[in-house]
Amino acid sequence: MSFLSFLTPKDAYIEANGIRIANIQRYKINTCRDTYPINVFGYSNPIKILNGNLIYKINLSRISILNSEYMDPVEFFSLCDFNLVIVQNKLHIIFTECQWSSIAENLDINSPMIQSVSLISSKKFTFYLENNI
């Protein structure tokens, strides 16, 4: 069984090694930043607060794993350093170097679907494309 997938104006999918391996129906993104207070002896409050790196915590729901006769079956638990691509009309958001932190499965016999996945990424790229291919 092979799947033909088209990029729609609103789309989200997981990509590994440049290949689209799963479609996503829902996602939620939380952005966190570490802060580092600079304390000086004799002052009760920090004199400055430095910003740390951004961390993106991403929750995905209803992930359809794409299987075809042209690619090897995806072992989702062994994935690391993969990309999450979100397309909203002409806006493309790509989270790179993603690592999964939790996976919840609720599988049917005929449906290769994962219920939810939590990801962590430290890199996000956003750009606009004039024409979707």
Confidence of residue 2 (pLDDT cuts 50, 70, 90): very low
CA dihedral (35, 39, 44, 45) positive or negative = negative
Average pLDDT over residues 82-99: 89
Instruction: Kindly give the pairing relationship between strand 19-38 and strand 91-105.
Output: unpaired
Taking a C-beta distance cutoff of 8 angstroms, is the pair 20, 82 a contact? Answer: no
pLDDT for the residue numbered 3: 36
CA atoms within 13 A on the CB side of 91: 5
The percentage of the chain sitting over the pLDDT mark of 70, rounded to a whole number, equals 80
SS3 51: strand
Instruction: Write out pLDDT tens, residues 9-18.
Output: 468 888 887 8
pLDDT tier, 73 (very low <50, low <70, confident <90, very high otherwise): low
Q: What is the pLDDT of residue 69?
A: 58
**Which domains does the chain carry?**
10-128 (2.40.30)
